[in-house]
Structure 1
């Protein structure tokens, strides 16, 4: 029998040290390396990106010049403060960024754009700067420009970290299947963060979205009767089974910076009566939960509406559409894993 718990009853308490300790690649990218990245021979920019990141990693690990070497320039020229991977959705940018993190000695941090903004919300801006200024490398995955306030916040954080000598690496966030209109482009990054633009090397990573190469359609939602029956497929595991409305309401009282710990020990989730989320603030919180579930590769079984109806049509075509498309893609992959036994790509 599975052990049934409820996320809607969890209220994790997380210390500052625990929050910082959580800034590392997810289990999905826990052991990746430059060697395990397979560049597409038809896309030479992928192999070029590997070489650029290896060079950047060496620069991060290179001791800073001291004494006469610093005075007379005996050391090799310093690389730029940051490196930015620009490219389509699903071309391996997170794999490359995690490989960079693994290749560099610590202290170092790896998190998504949202995780860093949530960290600032949990600690305050000044305490976040103080905590990260001693790091050698800070990696920011899925840099987003859809919220002007968060963009200004992150640009200020990155500027202060760069001034403190921290090396920075970032990837873009891009719509599934979109390599043209609507894509987060390097010119947007440079326009929005003008102070930092000349400190970053922009590396283009071209390629086909591997997550959308002939994948089967998402499974149909289960009936509530079948959902209860399928719980037995997780014999000996911990399943968080919740009424969807209870979970959505509960998330309002759990800071998104704690969502990693919120899911500790959970092997699968079961959601009863999934419904369309109509409030923007609620939807954005749920996007963060979807990201953390995907990071931990937690399979999902669910009844109610299919995940492509989780957000309203207005949300799927509005200013935060990139977040919602990503969430639907990831939740669908986890549902295929939970309901059809297919590994989430």
Structure 2
């Protein structure tokens, strides 16, 4: 007989018009087993004879997390989110990995100079959550690589159940990264404490039903598109009245939009991706808009890898915050990396842009305007 958790997740899938495939069913089984191993709630212990003594000697049961990995659009995030919504655990949190790391840096900052600050942060987090779901786990720099190792070790020790989604198996994390050998113990830690469930198959659910190349609009259409997206405000204001609006980034920085009104912002690519911005800036921006128009996306080569990385951060952050992103570029997205330079890295970007822009019909990346 199917459990209530399984029934709930399957029902959620049916709402979106599909049934779970073999990989997703295997992942759901691993998630159910993990849920069953979670430590007994404190309320149960409180009702037992000798509860005061039990609270002093009780240690969290070992709980294996679940690591969902596979190519973009295979349903990893959907399954994790459906599980998160259905699982009967009150103390839980679901975050994009970028946002999680930003929060950890913010918690660590006041503890500078304290002994073993990671243990203090992990202890606080373990008191707040029993289940932690992290979407799009990836390591891009040695600083985060070292931080996540200690943090995961502390959280595993404290019995926090962790679910991650990632595009690569643990062995493929941080490829060709600076001092990658220092990250290898983290890979071993993940393998020892998490059940790795690969999502196989060729179908990208985000691309299903979309036309090849339908990823954006020509920049000439942006003024009309901006007006169309903001005409429901009823204020009768002209677009130019709010041209040059400044929006807030992190750490007191500001971002100059070409136009802004009622949660719709139009930015030049150079302002958001050529400038020295980070993930925290994009998170701050995502909190101020529901739709973002980005004009002038360039083709990336060996001289513009920093801009390419920021573009990927921007897409990931906006996607996770459910912000619609509409882009214009001189080339189709499959050619953004010159000579195939970024083919692998942009698979996720292409998939997510397709999903975010599916509400804008008849748009073709850099080829024709809005009808």
Residues 166, 212 of structure 1: CA spacing in aligned structure 2 closer, same or farther, 3 A cutoff?
A: same
Residue 264 of structure 1 deviates from its aligned partner by 2.4
**Which is worse superposed, 184-193 or 325-334?**
184-193
- 1:136 aligned partner: 130
Q: Could you tell me which of 22, 29, 34 is aligned with 1:51?
A: 29
- 1:185 aligned partner: 169
Distance 1:297 1:129 in 2: 28
1:299/1:338 contact within 8 Å kept:
no
Residues 148, 314 of structure 1: CA spacing in aligned structure 2 closer, same or farther, 3 A cutoff?
A: farther
Aligned: 1:262 with 2:245: no
**Residue 149 of structure 2: SS of its match in structure 1?**
helix
Aligned: 1:155 with 2:138: no
CA RMSD of aligned residues (A): 3.7
Distance 2:106 2:136 in 1: 20
Count residues in correspondence.
Answer: 291
Residues 281, 68 of structure 1: CA spacing in aligned structure 2 closer, same or farther, 3 A cutoff?
A: farther
Give the alignment of 1:93-172 within 5 angstroms.
93-102=76-85, 103-124=87-108, 126=118, 128-134=121-127, 135-144=129-138, 147=141, 150-172=144-166
1:140/1:171 contact within 8 Å kept:
yes
Distance 2:185 2:23 in 1: 23
2:132/2:162 contact within 8 Å kept:
yes
- 1:231 aligned partner: 226
1:142/1:171 contact within 8 Å kept:
yes
Residues 220, 273 of structure 1: CA spacing in aligned structure 2 closer, same or farther, 3 A cutoff?
A: same
1:243/1:273 contact within 8 Å kept:
yes
1:59/1:78 contact within 8 Å kept:
yes
2:73/2:206 contact within 8 Å kept:
yes
Residue 161 of structure 1 deviates from its aligned partner by 0.9
Q: Could you tell me which of 337, 345, 351 is aligned with 1:329?
A: 351
Q: TM-score, normalised by structure 1?
A: 0.68
Residues 144, 220 of structure 1: CA spacing in aligned structure 2 closer, same or farther, 3 A cutoff?
A: closer
Residues 310, 334 of structure 1: CA spacing in aligned structure 2 closer, same or farther, 3 A cutoff?
A: farther
Distance 1:213 1:336 in 2: 11
- 1:316 aligned partner: 342
Cα deviation 1:3-39 (Å, max 9, x = unaligned): xxxxxxxxxxxxxxxxxxxxxxxxxxxxx94531359
1:97/1:169 contact within 8 Å kept:
yes
Residues 169, 300 of structure 1: CA spacing in aligned structure 2 closer, same or farther, 3 A cutoff?
A: closer
Residues 232, 144 of structure 1: CA spacing in aligned structure 2 closer, same or farther, 3 A cutoff?
A: same
**Which is worse superposed, 53-62 or 237-246?**
53-62
User: Of the two structures, which has the highest relative contact order with CA contacts closer than 8 Å and spacing of 6 or more?
Assistant: 1
Residues 61, 205 of structure 1: CA spacing in aligned structure 2 closer, same or farther, 3 A cutoff?
A: farther
Q: Could you tell me which of 62, 68, 82 is aligned with 1:85?
A: 68
Where does structure 1 lack aligned partners over 5 or more consecutive residues?
Answer: 1-31, 174-183
Residues 42, 114 of structure 1: CA spacing in aligned structure 2 closer, same or farther, 3 A cutoff?
A: closer
Distance 2:326 2:91 in 1: 38
Cα deviation 1:245-292 (Å, max 9, x = unaligned): 223345x24x42353332224232222333235433332222121112
Distance 2:215 2:11 in 1: 38
- 1:6 aligned partner: none
Larger Rg: 2
Residues 34, 265 of structure 1: CA spacing in aligned structure 2 closer, same or farther, 3 A cutoff?
A: farther
**Residue 195 of structure 1: SS of its match in structure 2?**
helix
2:13/2:20 contact within 8 Å kept:
no
Residue 217 of structure 1 deviates from its aligned partner by 1.8
Aligned: 1:307 with 2:328: no
**Residue 360 of structure 2: SS of its match in structure 1?**
helix
